[in-house]
Structure 1
Amino acid sequence: MDTTKTIREQILDHAITLMMLRGYNGFSYRDLSELVGVKTSSIHYYFPSKDDLVLEAVQAYTQEVQGAVQSIDASLSSQAKLARFAKMFGRTLGDGDQICLCGMLAADIETLPEPVRLAVQAFFRANETWLAKVFAEGAHDGTVAMGVKPEQAARTFFAALQGAGLTSRLFRTRSRLDEVGASFKTSK
């Protein structure tokens, strides 16, 4: 048992990892109790329902990812920002056996409670909004070639990363994810 984090933090961390590996329906409180070393009743104390746990997990994951996105140096070129974003996204693959939490949950969208569905949508929108700004900067200064509006380029890029995460996991290779970043060439 990890003693540097509270029981609650450990439950949340393990829930995020399990969902990145197995999805919303692929884990139980029993799985968490074995990983954390507590009774399932202890997990219910912190998270009365699985829906409560998953919503908080999505919110914590979103906050972590957005923190990483905001830490990308604003003075970098648009192309460099996109490369950093793709590299950051690639770190979610771990050893190639997991994918983005919200990407995984998006695949389970029909079984998600409404608050979780909305939180997953907010995660996608936040990333697409940041990417659209980067594409707009790149179009303005001529460093990113694109034949579509920045918002469409952002959705395409983010969707490509999400899809590449899935296929990288399927084929157990990061090369598919690396190809996405390389496919957005500079125009100069």
Structure 2
Amino acid sequence: METTATVREQILDHAITLMMLHGYNGFSYRDLSELVGVKTSSIHYYFPSKEDLALEAVNEYSKQIFALLGSVDASLPADAKLAKYTKLFGRVLGDGDQICLCGMLAADIGSLPDTVRAAVQAFFKANESWLAKVLAQGVKERTLAVNGRPENAARTLFAAYQGSALASRLFQTKARLDEVETSWKVSKQV
């Protein structure tokens, strides 16, 4: 028999995947019920409302992504950090059929509850902040090309990653993701 934590984790994992594939409005508790093998009332026990489930999904997803970002060696040059970030984004794409959870939810922003919207915004801001630091480092090292302030460039870069995830899904290729990273590197001419 499964423990309570295991069922809850399964519900959350499946909810994250379903939202990455179909968005906030593209799945129901019935879908989760079939995937996890529990009654919908069991899902309501753990997550009384879809808002509760989505908020917890964004928080869990954010925690996982930020743990991966935190594991990037701080002593690496900026272009190497950016390469690791690109690989991280590539892992999010899976087989090319899903996109970043928060990117997908941002598309549903008009129908998201305020708590979920705030969590998605926090995810975007945290990624942009991390990228701004990497871009500033890259300017100092002369390994990355940045026009304007690193904070503004970071917003543009994060938008490019999110957009490349959509295009990668549309064209079923991760090549568009690699193009984002290479567009920021300084060409090393001999």
Q: TM-score range by the shorter chain?
A: over 0.9
Q: How far apart, CA to CA, are the structure 2 residues paired with 1:61 and 1:8?
A: 15
Q: How far apart, CA to CA, are the structure 1 residues paired with 2:50 and 2:64?
A: 21
> Structure 1 residues 14-23 or 147-156, which shifts more?
147-156
Residue equivalent to 1:84: 84
Q: How far apart, CA to CA, are the structure 1 residues paired with 2:2 and 2:31?
A: 16
Residue equivalent to 1:42: 42
Q: How far apart, CA to CA, are the structure 1 residues paired with 2:107 and 2:175?
A: 22
**Sequence identity, in percent?**
70
Residue equivalent to 1:134: 134
Is 2:168 the counterpart of 1:185?
A: no
* C-alpha deviation, 1:141, in angstroms: 2.2
* C-alpha deviation, 1:175, in angstroms: 0.9
Is 2:24 the counterpart of 1:24?
A: yes
> Structure 1 residues 55-64 or 146-155, which shifts more?
146-155
Which digits, 9 at most, give the CA deviation of each residue in 1:9-61, with x for residues without a partner?
00000000000000000000000000000000000000000000000000000
Q: CA RMSD in A?
A: 1.6
Residue equivalent to 2:158: 158
Q: Secondary structure at the match of 2:116?
A: helix
Residue equivalent to 1:107: 107
Q: How far apart, CA to CA, are the structure 1 residues paired with 2:56 and 2:94?
A: 22
Indicate conservation of the 8 Å contact 1:2/1:10, yes or no: no
Please list every run of 5 or more consecutive structure 2 residues that lacks an aligned counterpart in the other structure.
Answer: none
Which digits, 9 at most, give the CA deviation of each residue in 1:92-149, with x for residues without a partner?
1111100000000000000000000000000000000011011111112222122211
Q: How far apart, CA to CA, are the structure 2 residues paired with 1:132 and 1:2?
A: 43
Q: How far apart, CA to CA, are the structure 1 residues paired with 2:187 and 2:73?
A: 21
Moved over 4 A (4+): none
Q: How far apart, CA to CA, are the structure 2 residues paired with 1:153 and 1:187?
A: 18
Alpha carbons of structure 1 residues 2 and 21: separation in structure 2 relative to 1, 3 Å = farther
Q: How far apart, CA to CA, are the structure 2 residues paired with 1:93 and 1:141?
A: 30
Please list every run of 5 or more consecutive structure 1 residues that lacks an aligned counterpart in the other structure.
Answer: none
Indicate conservation of the 8 Å contact 1:58/1:119, yes or no: yes
State the one-letter code of the partner of 1:98: Q
Is 2:26 the counterpart of 1:6?
A: no
Q: How far apart, CA to CA, are the structure 1 residues paired with 2:123 and 2:8?
A: 23
Residue equivalent to 1:93: 93
Q: How far apart, CA to CA, are the structure 2 residues paired with 1:90 and 1:70?
A: 17
Q: How far apart, CA to CA, are the structure 2 residues paired with 1:148 and 1:83?
A: 21
